[in-house]
Structure 1
Amino acid sequence: MILVTGGAGFIGSNFVLDWLARSDEPVVNCDKLTYAGNLDNLSALADDARHRFVRADILDRGQVAALLRAHRPRAIVHFAAESHVDRSVVAPGDFVATNVTGTFSLLAEAHAYWSKLSGAEREAFRFLHISTDEVYGSLQPGAPPFTEESPYAPNSPYAATKAASDHLVRAWHQTYGLPAIITNCSNNYGPRQFPEKLIPLMIANALAGAALPVYGDGLQLRDWLYVGDHCAALRRVLEAGRPGETYAIGGNCEMTNIAVVLAICDVLAELAPKAGGYRAQVAHVADRPGHDRRYAIDSAKMRRKLGWSAAENFESGLRKTVQWYLGNQDWVANVQSGAYQAWIEQNYASREDQP
């Protein structure tokens, strides 16, 4: 079996669902269930004996050690992280605790567990750490995309804590021999993403008749990766990736934020039409501090070494995403709790509309 951390969150839950749709290998799913961890994401597995959910905090080394002793996983797939840049600006300490100290705790217990394995079990074990392209900082217009060799230059507290976690994982491989692999992905989107991130926030606000807040001029460039493609890449890395290696995973789809928002408006106008459409709801607001201008990933190593490339283009992936949110309005309503609403008010209310 495999142990997944953060498996009730956006990418983690999609990975667990995808894993069990394609394999009978059981999953132990460990999640602290912070605001973005949602058991509704896993409702399809409620009666599936292959899936065991355990509410646990990776900062609690005793809990982690007990899970490893009890279930003896052949791999740990580490998604658990605080991941929203805006939140990291307001509360960086939470990001240091989970992303840095939490990853350290998990590595320490994984090493202790792996050290006691022998033979084929020890040889087969993998620690797969899922990270982000934001650790590389901001690309200049026209510059080549990030690769596995790009220097680290994080600009937000979120990116800095993910960079730190990457360095810890590398150190545990180099110093202690832990068979660890790092992946750095571009911006994910798709079903079950918490509606603080750009695409689900725009869908939810558009349907509610609310403003669609776009930071600054909206010309920030991102490489968009459909979450199903990301899950396929991670399965492949777990299957054939080499310990000590890093793999960059991107969607080969650079788009500006404003282009993404307008594309969402147009898909909604087709699938959920209303008089006047949705574009009039777009509102430019003050940019956030340290907002990186451009990210892009070169996935050539994934294609060359592991035979993976993204199957979805942005148009097909966005249509699937909008259709999922339109068909799962109860899910959206359930996650938009009072705590979530307070966060949205805190983040956006202080930003004056920009021309």
Structure 2
Amino acid sequence: MNILVTGGAGFIGSNLVHYLLGEASSELGVPIDKVVNLDKLTYAGNRTSLEDLDSDPRHVFAQGDICDEKFVSALLKEHQIDAVMHLAAESHVDRSIDGPEAFIMTNVVGTFRLLDAFRKYLAETGRTKLPNYGKSIADGGESAFLHVSTDEVFGSLGPSDPMFCESTPYAPNSPYSASKAGSDHLARAYHHTYGMPVITTNCSNNYGPYQFPEKLLPLMIQKTLRGESLPVYGDGSNVRDWLYVEDHCRGLAMALVRGTIGETYVIGGKNEMRNVDVVKELIRTVHELAPESATKTADELITYVKDRPGHDRRYAIDPSRIENELGWSPRENFASGLRKAVQWYLDHQEWIRGIEDGSYRGERLGTLA
């Protein structure tokens, strides 16, 4: 199987590419011959996250834009792509509030052009006429398009509301989540209108290696190491479900290979926690693994700041369907995953410094704060 991964130099994407070229073939029982990694290399795309794959002939990196349909079409044909795993997206909520246009262009227009390129490619190669068209890859299907989305499209839950599931109505509350909701609807429409072999996933908050340091956990790890104030929105009681990124990547691969065409699977870590409790556990873990950083207590480090507009109160995912139908379950709880994540950042300070000083892009960005 030849797979096109979009956004493969980003956080989840780079972890996914490593998994596909590592354990995936043996765990899924499907040989993966080639991974074509398409990334625009915007600020969050980082080639250094893929340096260890430079000598692997199965990994092909292509810098380009998913909005460039001609470029995407050429990649599909040149590498005889069997499946697409679409992760390329603008994903930072605060940035979407400050500048929503980029989110519409990448997440909505880019998804449309990628879907349309794949639709035409399937038609040109005759795959839509095969008897096994529409089956899962594990059952002999020829192709699949995995559209990777977020739980934020479902909006906010109250304290006692049931968890998100595949039938939860959409209610996005930020430009980011609205753009992802639009892309989800396009993916669904391309399946129902054109018969494209589309599968959609919606995940909870990911954490782990290679995450850009503007996101909560890596940002807080660095600030804890430096003894700097850790800003927490509002009163810190916003609740998120935390999913270790390698668990998510296994779920994505299972959905691609074993998932039923036209269906949706929500993927969560079953780790609901208040933001302030996440930060306190992070501080404790950093101080344990790097005791020289324990110069201030959690109360001295945490600073509560004005809440951001439209801040959803609670997310929670019920992953029963993917567990029961595809055999996936998270291997990490929050404590074990957090320990792995903190240790990775402690061991890869050079990777962090490359982002802070801009050398990962050939320019100086200044220290993140």
TM-score of Structure 1 vs Structure 2, range by shorter chain: over 0.9
Shift of 1:340: 8.8
- Partners of 2:216 and 2:289 lie apart in 1 by 19
Tell me which residue corresponds to 1:169: 187
TM-score using structure 2 length: 0.91
SS in 1 for 2:4: strand
Give the distance between the partners of 1:325 and 1:227, measured in 2 at CA. 14
Q: What's the CA shift string for 1:106-128, capped at 9, x where partnerless?
A: 01101000112333795410000
CA change 1:205–1:315 in 2 (3 A) is same
Distance 1:195 1:204 in 2: 8
Q: Secondary structure at the match of 2:240?
A: strand
* Residue 240 of structure 1 pairs with residue 258 of structure 2: yes
Describe how 1:3-18 pairs up with structure 2 within 5 A: 3-18=4-19
238, 249, 273: which one aligns with 1:231? 249
Counterpart AA for 1:19: L
Superposed counterparts of 1:239-258, under 5 Å: 239-258=257-276
Spell out the pairing of 1:314-333 with structure 2 (5 A cutoff): 314-333=334-353
Deviation, 1:299, is 0.4
Give the structure 2 partner of residue 348 of structure 1: none
Of residues 141, 152, 155, the one that matches 1:134 is: 152
RMSD of aligned alpha carbons = 1.6
Corresponding residue of 1:29: 37
Is the contact made by 2:357 and 2:367 (CA closer than 8 Å) also made in structure 1?
no
Matching residue of 1:276: 295
Residue 224 (structure 2) pairs with residue 216 (structure 1): no
Number of equivalent positions: 345
For 1:314, the aligned partner's letter is F
Counterpart of 1:286 in structure 2 is 306
Matched letter for residue 86 of structure 1: D
Normalising by the residue count of structure 1, what TM-score does the alignment of the two structures yield? 0.94
1:80 aligned partner: 88
Q: Is the CA contact 2:108–2:182 (under 8 Å) kept in the aligned structure 1?
A: yes
**What is the SS of the residue equivalent to 2:21?**
helix
Instruction: Judge which range, 336-345 or 52-61, deviates more.
Output: 336-345
In structure 2, C-alpha distance between the alignment counterparts of 1:43 and 1:282, rounded to whole Å: 35
Deviation at 1:200, TM superposition (A): 0.6
Q: Could you tell me which residue of structure 2 aligns to residue 309 of structure 1?
A: 329
Q: Say which of 199, 220, 223 aligns to 2:217.
A: 199
Further displaced range: 247-256 or 275-284: 275-284
2:97–2:174 CA contact under 8 A, matched in 1: yes
How far is the alpha carbon of 1:209 from its aligned partner?
Answer: 2.4
Distance 1:91 1:152, change over 3 A: same
For the residue of structure 2 that corresponds to 1:21, the secondary structure is: coil
Higher mean displacement: 199-208 or 270-279: 270-279
Residues 172-225 of structure 1: CA distance to partner in whole angstroms, max 9, x if unpaired?
Answer: 000011000000000000000001111011001111222111011010000000
Contiguous gaps of at least 5 residues in structure 2: 26-31, 134-140
Does the 8 Å CA contact 1:268/1:278 hold for their aligned counterparts? Answer: no
Q: 1:153 aligns with which of 167, 171, 175?
A: 171
1:350 equivalent in structure 2: none
Cα distance between partner residues in 2 of 1:247 and 1:271: 36
Q: 1:329 to 1:99 in 2, by over 3 A?
A: same
Shift of 1:278: 4.8
Which amino acid in the other structure matches residue 8 of structure 1? A
Q: Of 50, 54, 79, which residue of structure 1 is paired with 2:58?
A: 50
**Matching residue's letter, 1:224:** W
Aligned twin of 2:110: 102
* Residues 205/120 of structure 1: CA separation in 2 closer, same or farther (3 Å cut): farther
Amino-acid identity (%): 55
Indicate if the aligned counterparts of 2:356 and 2:368 stay in contact, CA closer than 8 A: no
Residue by residue over 1:237-256, the C-alpha shift from the partner in whole angstroms, topping out at 9 and shown as x without a partner, is 11110111000000001001
